[in-house]
């Protein structure tokens, strides 16, 4: 494995990164996850500590220990056990692991964006079980409640990724990456039809 002398994204604290830098980082991560997806790999444990920064500050997706091969025409590749990190886990991953699809990684991308914007994960509790219950039942706190300066457009993009309903999340890497790039470059955040091909 390549050696990384820098920290992971988990070390990025609230206010340490500009919103422009945040969108640039997450856009790069989106394309990396999409690259894996096109090769049939579902990560299932996307979180800031699994995003390593190289010496040039570019993010790389690491720790594929929970990754699985995904065949949309078969459920045989899915595990029946709950694996992952509760604070960043998609609701369906926490309740019905056999039904996990690429939308779970879309949720993980949203959780990473949420933490970079607010300085904390979408859900925080004292125990893993209480976090899992929150993940399954509650919506995350609106990021602007935590940090008023977060732009509304980035809040909308983030919360769409974190939607409880998998089919209402961003299903296309191209669309999600495009929204992030449009915000960063000052272009209108126009809606685009989501692709059915997933991340």
Quick: pLDDT tens for 8-62.
Answer: 888 776 678 999 999 999 999 999 988 877 777 777 789 999 999 888 889 998 8
At 196 the pLDDT is: 46
Percentage of residues in the chain with pLDDT exceeding 70? Answer: 81
Distance of CA 187 to the CA centre of its chain: 23
- Residue 56 appears among annotated catalytic residues: no
Active-site residue, from 7, 45, 56, 60: 45
Q: Worst-scoring range by mean pLDDT, 16-30, 97-111, 142-156? A: 97-111
Domain 10-184 has CATH 3.30.2130.10: no
Rounded to an integer, the average pLDDT of 100-106 is 83
At 147 the pLDDT is: 96
Give domain limits for the chain.
Answer: 10-184
At 55 the pLDDT is: 85
Q: How confident is the model at residue 76 (pLDDT cuts 50, 70, 90)?
A: very low
Task: Give bridge partners of residue 61 from the DSSP assignment.
Answer: 51
**pTM metric for this prediction:** 0.86
Rounded to an integer, the average pLDDT of 176-187 is 94
Q: Which of 59, 74, 52, 68 lies closest to 23 in space, CA to CA?
A: 59
């Amino acid at each position: 494995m390549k050696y990384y002398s820098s920290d992971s994204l988990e070390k990025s604290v609230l206010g340490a990164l500009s919103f422009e830098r945040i969108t640039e980082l997450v856009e790069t991560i989106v394309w990396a996850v999409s690259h894996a997806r096109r090769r049939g790999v579902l990560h299932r444990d996307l979180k800031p500590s699994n995003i390593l920064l190289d010496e040039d500050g570019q993010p790389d997706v690491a720790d594929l220990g929970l990754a699985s091969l995904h065949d949309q025409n078969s459920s045989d590749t899915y595990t029946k056990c709950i694996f992952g990190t509760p604070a960043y886990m998609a609701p369906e991953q926490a309740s019905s692991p056999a039904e996990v699809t690429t939308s779970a990684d879309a949720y993980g991308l949203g959780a990473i964006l949420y933490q970079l914007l607010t300085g904390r994960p979408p859900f925080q509790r004292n125990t893993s079980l209480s976090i899992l219950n929150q993940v399954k039942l509650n919506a995350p706190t609106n990021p602007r409640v935590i940090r008023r300066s977060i732009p509304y457009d980035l809040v909308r993009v983030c919360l769409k990724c974190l939607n409880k309903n998998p089919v209402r999340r961003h299903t296309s890497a191209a669309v999600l990456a495009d929204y992030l790039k449009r915000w960063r470059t000052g272009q209108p955040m126009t809606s685009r039809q989501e692709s059915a091909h997933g991340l």
